[in-house]
Every structure is written in structure tokens, then in C-alpha cells.
Chains A and B, each alone.
Chain A
């Protein structure tokens, strides 16, 4: 970090400024744009699958010829290709889309600004995190062009299937290792930055809730990812060196006894995978809650209700998320004592989520709400995440889970958490911080044209899934379950869902136009277009390298809106008391 010791006055070249930049804002935008592109790509995979589910075995019109005879002979999707699309949809959405956007994108761009820091604590390591993520993304994307296609054993990659799968699975594992390294470096950087680079006067309990959310998220990434690293190493050994970490003795595949040493345990993979993947759920959700908290405080013009209890709930949530993972594994034959233990911890972990959600809802009470585009998305987050959370309760209890396990109900449940939940919050964040990143406001008309259809269609996708699942329809079926008698009554929902999915795609077009079109507007947003109180609004829009013209000092709590002793309805953290008193 020796070269940061002197001031940069010389102009950096194009490559250093926009590509291999060490500036947290450029890296944040790189993460965001890459993440958004992967979200679109992952969504496209799903739209293809939705054709197969709505019209099983019928050729895909217009686009069907593009995918070649191995994937779609005569425009009809093969079962293998369907499995590949499903596995890669999950992987891309979680590891290449949502997490990079929520943590890499918003975390990078917003956290140093909100704590009044000139940059992240380790700028070059920050650049390395992005490029490791990028390489991981390239490996994942590249695996689509393998002769036998990408990974096809689900985003969970359960062995023995994944051990026996084609070469794409190896690429998946290598890609995951890159993504894990990237997340680890990022997590180290975030935690150090938040502990060390807080501005003068910014104590832990004056930090905006978003910073707290990122802080806990980083700990989850730091401590939960290594088990998947270990599991990935084991699986690579199984696939490349012929070991049997996950392979039982005498395994028979297609009538053939496998020539293996055996003695391994497929369940070991599930333990290590879910040891990561349950905390990962909160990695997806916490930054979203952070964004929603910022937007709600700003648009209700009130301090957050119960800020401290939200912070404590977040920390507790982070801790508990490490001891609930086996609720994904009730049907693996674990003993009743252990399933009782995990049921109990699972019910306990719902409490802090409810605390946070309740605090956010109570924050609305008595506010003079501004229905801006970010606020619409943030408001939609509350009931959507609520549905996602509540539908999780039956899954967390081992008895109802026997019926619901591996059905569309599960898909509906976690998509409610992540899609109309987290992704809506991420949209709120984009609309909210776009003026800070670019100096320009996004169009509010196009924003509403994006929000309302998205809101309707996304519910049209996931609500029917809950119904299908409760009827017992299984997930990951190539034909959508049409050969099963118990699915017949709910099969017709497939068409509804598919049309809603394609409608949801159309609803994103106003967003894309808005996102790029607004870049052509003049830079008129100003430093603080939303009249907000937190530190990022003290910096110019867009903030220059080094962020703040003078080192900011923090004088008060983060959400001093509508302070009774103050004239204006917002009193920023960075405004000195003398000035505050004068304008009163």
C-alpha cells in the first residue's frame, strides 16, 4: 500500500482509471454492472426452462434453432440441457448475480462513503477481489461451450451425481474456488475498513444500518465460505484423483458397480455445502435489509424505529445462521434428537428476522411518506420478504418438511425471499444511489413503469409455485411433473407462471432504458438530492478519487429526520452543531 502514501494529481490512463482501478467506487460500479449482466443472463436461462415447463416437448419457436442439435434437436430441449439450465440458473443468480451486486457492488460503493473513508482499507486487494470474481464468472460462463455442456447437478451439486457428471462440473468447482477467494478477500477488506476507517465521531452505534448489515454479512462470508472451499477441494479430488470422499462402497450406476475404494459419505458434502449455504441466505438478505432501512428512513422523513434492536437482531441473526444448516437435510435420515435441535434453532432464527421486519414496518407509522421509485421497491420488499419468511416456517419443522421437501413450495419460498425480496431491495438501492454514482437522477416515470408490472408479474410467478408445491409437485422435473397423478390438478399453473416470467422480462426493459438513458442527462442531481442525513451525501456526486473534499466529522446519529428543534426536516450527520443551531 506504499503507493497510496502520496497524493495523486496526475491523470491516470484509461486502463488504470476504468479497468484496473483501485478506487472503491469504480470497483463497486464494475461489480454492479457485471452482477446485473449475470442476473439478466441467469434470468434468460430460466425463461428457456419456462418454455419447456409450459409446453413440454414442443419446439421452441423462433429461438429454438440457435442452440444446436445437441442441446435442442429440432428446437426441443433435451433433458440434459434442461438440467444444465437449472443448475446454472441457481449458481449464476446466487454467486454471480445477487451477492456480487449486493456486497461487491453496493458494499464497495456505499460503505466507505457512509463511514467517511477515502477508500477501502486495502485498495489493491479490492481490485483483486473483483478480478477473481470476474475470472470465476468467465469460467462459469465458458463451461456453457464445453461439448457436454456446463454443470447439471443443481446449484447444490450433490454427490454422487455431481461426481459422475460431465466435465462441466469440474469447471463449476474451479469457478466456485475463484468466487470463494474473491469473497474472502472482499470480506477481510470490508471488516477492516469498517473497524478502522470510520470518520471522527462515527461510533459503532452511529453507523447507518446498511453499514451494520454489510459488517455482519462480511463475517458470514469470511467464516462460512471456507467449508465450501474444503468441500470443493474434496469434490475436485474425487473427480480428478479418483478418491472416494463422497462415494459409498459398492455404488451401482446404470447397472454397473463402480470401481472405487468407497467408504465415503455423500452426506459429508451436504453438511459442508449447507454450512456455507445457510449463512449464504443471510448474505443475500442482510444487505437488502440494509438498503431498505436507508430508503425507508429517508422517505418517511423519520428516524428508524428501534435502530438499536435492529442492530442487535442483525448480529444475533448472523451468529445463529451458523447453527441451522441441517434443516436442509431432514430427509437424510438424521436422528430425531438432532432434527429437534435444528428445528429449535431454526425457529429461534426467525425471531431476529421478525424483529427487523417489524421495526421497518413500524418505521412507516406516522411518517409523511414520499412515494419515490426507491421507496416503492423498498415498500414492496416488506410484504414480499414477509411471505418468503413465513412460508419458510413449515419447511423448518421436520414433520411438514417431509411433505414439502423438494417440491415447488420450496422454490416459491426461497424465491419470495430472494427475488421480490432481495432483488427488489437491490433495485431500490440502484434508484437511490444512482444520483450519487453518476450525478444524475433516473427517470421517475420509467421507474414506476418498471416497478408496477414487475411487482404484479413476480407474484404471478411465485405464488402459484406455492400452490403447486402444496399439491406435492416435485422440483427439477424435466416435464414439469406431467406423468404424476398428484400433479394433474396444478399443471395448468405452469403456463401462468411462464407467461408471467416472460412478462417480467418485458417489465425490465424500462429499467434498462432508464439505467443507460439517464447517463445522457446533465449532471444536475447535486450532492444531496434526497435530502438525506448519512455521510455519503456530504461528498460531491459523483465523488472524486479520495471521496471527500475535507475529512468529514460525525456529530450525531444516522437518521435525524424531522428533528423538533431543527428548522429543516433533516439534520445530516456531518452538519456541525453550530450550523445546526443557526438554521433552527
Chain B
């Protein structure tokens, strides 16, 4: 990687950092609005998802990474969602969906 490439990267890091700070402020700010549980969850998780993707894509360079690593992470993400959702769905008969 040449020095110009690195300089370009550094500029991106700074922008991502700024975005992360702003989004953190937003997520805290929204929590003071005391939205209903449904919308609050959706909004909070969406912001977290955006922040997480920024970290993964730019700090961890996933956006320009080799396809093989993307496949590994994609597979584990698929199973990650199975882990999160299926236990809940399976117990669907016995659950109280309100927060």
C-alpha cells in the first residue's frame, strides 16, 4: 500500500469516527424521547446495526477484504440469526411479546 493510499484510509477513518460519535449521541438522545417499546427497539437496533457495520466495513476493512473471508463471516452471520431468532420463535406459544 502506498503512502497516498494510507492517507486516503486515514481520511476515511476520521469520517467514520465522526459518524460513530454522532450516531452514539443520536441513540442516547432518542432514548430520552421515551418512545413506545416497539419503535424504540427498532430505532435503537437500527442505529446499532449501522454503527456496527461501519466498524466492520472500515476499521476492520471488510469492505475491501477477500471474498473467502466474506463467505466465512456471511455463514456465521446466518447461523447467528438462527441463534437469535429460532429459540424465540420456537417458544412462541408461551411468550409475552410486549416489553
B82–A338 touching, CB < 8 Å = no
The answer on a CB contact under 8 Å between A333 and B93 is yes
Question: B79 contacts which of A195, A223, A272, A329 (Cβ < 8 Å)?
Answer: A223
A residues in contact with B93, CB < 8 Å: 333-335
Tell yes or no: B83 within 8 A of A by CB: yes
Docked pose: A268 CA to B76 CA in angstroms: 21
CB contacts (< 8 Å) of B90 on chain A: these are 271, 326, 329, 334-335, 338
Q: Known contacts being A334-B93, A335-B92, A338-B92, is A223 close to B87, with CB within 8 Å?
A: no
A322 and B79 contacting across the interface, CB-CB below 8 Å: yes
Q: Which residues on A are within 8 Å of B, measured CB to CB?
A: 195, 219, 223, 227, 265, 267-268, 271-272, 275, 319, 322-323, 326, 329, 333-335, 337-338
- Bound CA span A333–B92, Å: 10
Query: Is B68 at the interface (CB under 8 A from chain A)?
Result: yes
Q: Which residues of B contact A337 (CB under 8 A)?
A: 92
| Residues on the A chain within 8 Å of B6, using CB | none
Q: What does the 1/0 interface line of B60-97 toward A look like (CB < 8 Å)?
A: 00000000100000011001001100110111111000
Rounded to whole angstroms, the CA-CA distance of A223 and B75 in the bound complex is 9
Q: Which of B83, B89, B91, B92 contacts A275 (CB 8 A)?
A: B83
Q: Do the beta carbons of B83 and A227 come within 8 Å of each other?
A: yes
Q: Is the beta-carbon distance between A195 and B87 smaller than 8 angstroms?
A: no
Q: List 25 A-B contacts (CB under 8 A).
A: A219-B75, A223-B75, A223-B76, A223-B79, A227-B83, A265-B91, A267-B87, A267-B91, A268-B87, A271-B86, A271-B87, A319-B75, A322-B79, A322-B82, A323-B82, A323-B86, A326-B90, A333-B93, A334-B90, A334-B91, A335-B90, A335-B92, A338-B89, A338-B90, A338-B92
Instruction: Please indicate the chain B residues that have their CB under 8 angstroms from the CB of A323 in the complex.
Output: 82, 86
Closest to B76 in A: A223
Using Cβ atoms and an 8 Å threshold, which residues of chain A touch B91?
265, 267, 334
Minimal beta-carbon separation of B65 from chain A (angstroms) = 14
- List, in ascending order, chain B residues with CB within 8 A of A271's CB: 86-87, 90
Residues of B within 8 A of A267 (CB): 87, 91
Chain A residues near B94: list those with CB within 8 A.
Answer: 333
> Which residues of chain B are near A219, meaning CB under 8 Å?
75
Alpha-carbon distance between A275 and B75 when the two chains are bound, in angstroms: 15
Complex CA gap A223/B86 in Å reads 16
CB 8 Å contact bits of B12-34 with A (1 = contact, 0 = none): 00000000000000000000000
Given contacts A334-B91, A337-B92, 16 further A-B contacts (CB under 8 A): A195-B68, A223-B76, A223-B79, A265-B91, A267-B91, A271-B87, A271-B90, A275-B83, A326-B90, A333-B93, A333-B94, A334-B90, A334-B93, A335-B90, A335-B93, A338-B89
Question: How many Å lie between the Cα of A319 and that of B76 in the bound state?
Answer: 11
Q: In this complex, which of B79, B92, B93, B94 has the most chain A Cβ atoms within 10 angstroms of its Cβ?
A: B79
Minimum CB–CB distance for B36 against chain A, Å = 23
CB distance from A420 to the nearest CB of B (A): 31
A271 to B92, CA, bound (A): 14
Chain B residues near A322 (CB, 8 Å)?
A: 79, 82
Q: What's the nearest-Cβ distance from chain A to residue B16, in Å? A: 28
The distance from the CB of B85 to the nearest CB of chain A, in whole angstroms, is: 11
Complex Cα distance, B86 from A272, in Å, reads 11
The 7 closest A-B pairs by CB, nearest first: A271-B87, A335-B93, A338-B90, A334-B90, A322-B79, A223-B79, A326-B90
Smallest CB–CB gap between A216 and chain B, Å? Answer: 11
CB distance from A312 to the nearest CB of B (A): 16
Of chain A, the residue at the smallest CB distance from B89 is A338
Q: Hey, which chain A residues are within 8 Å of B76, CB to CB?
A: 223
Separation in Å of the B57 CB from the closest CB of chain A? 22
| Assembled-state Cα–Cα distance A338/B82 (Å) | 13
The complex places the Cα of A323 from the Cα of B75 at a distance, in Å, of: 13
Q: List A contacts of B89 (CB < 8 A).
A: 338
Query: Taking CB as reference atom, which chain B residue is nearest A335?
Result: B93
Chain A residue nearest in CB terms to B68? A195
Give Cα distance in the complex from A219 to B79, angstroms: 12
Measured between C-beta atoms, what is the minimum distance from A224 to chain B in Å?
Answer: 8
Closest residue of A by beta carbon distance from B87? A271
What residues of B have a CB within 8 angstroms of the CB of A329 in the complex?
Answer: 90
CB distance from B83 to the nearest CB of A (A): 6
Contacts of B79 in A (CB 8 A): 223, 322
Give the docked Cα–Cα distance between A329 and B89 (Å).
14
Residue of B75, B79, B90 most packed against chain A (CB within 10 A):
B90
List, in ascending order, chain B residues with CB within 8 A of A275's CB.
Answer: 83
Instruction: Give the docked Cα–Cα distance between A337 and B86 (Å).
Output: 12
A215 to chain B, nearest CB (A): 12
Rounded to whole angstroms, the CA-CA distance of A335 and B68 in the bound complex is 38
Residue on B nearest A226 in the bound complex, by CB: B83
Instruction: Give the shortest distance, in Å, between B81 (CB) and chain A (any CB).
Output: 11
Chain B residues, Cβ within 8 Å of A268? 87
Shortest beta-carbon distance from A103 to chain B in Å:
19
Chain B residues contacting A326 (CB-CB under 8 Å) are 86, 90
Distance in Å: Cβ of A194 to nearest Cβ of chain B: 12
Q: How many angstroms from the CA of A267 to the CA of B92 in the assembled complex?
A: 12
Hey, which chain A residues are within 8 Å of B75, CB to CB? 219, 223, 319
